[in-house]
Structure 1
């Protein structure tokens, strides 16, 4: 399906809904009226309510002559369908059908996710697919302070996971995964990654510090797996068992 107008999720009316920028709709319908006048007329004709059917966002642009602000109107997909139909033009019917198809696909995808959540194997695949977007629990709960210095480095290493965490996502044991990574020359005998994999963005190595029983400061390292590395490991595991 060709994208006639960009559709994006936005918070309107107390919930996240599909929406479009009214300027894009104005341009698509080919209206010759000034946008500001046109959008206010559509809101009145369709009896749309602000913060229920649409929202207004003030955008400030820096121009050579100084700052200039303008209002951006974002319409829910339902509201945009009404506006399209009210134009009584061929393009109005075309955009209505497009929005209907967007809604159908959106709800179909939502049903698919619900089904995946009931299937552990499918859920694991979903987690791998979205691994680049995962935020670790340390980042989500800033109220919890780490008990050791290496946790600070883990928090800074956005979207990284320990090998133990990766093993859990992949449905295997950590010792088995460490053995696999060493056997395939991904990790060295000390469980640090080979430099080529660090350079490829698959792993990060962070340093931690602790005081031994004599009060001396000691340093140690820990291997973290990036989202890219997680997908790489999963692919190598699949190839070895395929």
Structure 2
């Protein structure tokens, strides 16, 4: 199945960036939800920043079916790849691959003609390395988002006895910490739990194996001053 999404150049901030129409992407993904609601949901879900990952344009004189002023969203190619991936569908994967191919072709078109085969091979290797690094950055960003989601879920694994992991509880109260900080706070929670004679629980974490969970009162006492600094 072919993909019909035009790549355009649009001014975002001080740079001229390749962008795609949100409406065309919405149509290609076959989304049932209305465009505006879908676009806002993708922006929130992908944590996209206006005038960096997308631009919002108001269509003067045009009204939606509800009588509201109609807006258009144009996403960068990078944001478009994220949206395709987040859709979790085969079509989303095809759209993402399409954007990657567009980027590869654009890079190839800007490369100068090189006659020396060794130099040409070096340039090709550098281009491939750049693509690998970009993919690794994308994967690292997505992994961080997944870790946050897991941390929030794990925070609710033992709600009946008010036990939570450090990562889970910090996300639950809206004050997330990194893994190293969580480990340091965990040692303090463990010491305080033993001092007060409170049970230290265990939770299976897909990232770190078995990790400890602590009573909510312990977490409140340890995390409050740490996260307020």
TM-score w.r.t. structure 2 length?
0.45
The structure with more radius of gyration? 1
TM-score w.r.t. structure 1 length?
0.42
**Which structure dedicates a bigger proportion of its chain to helix?**
2
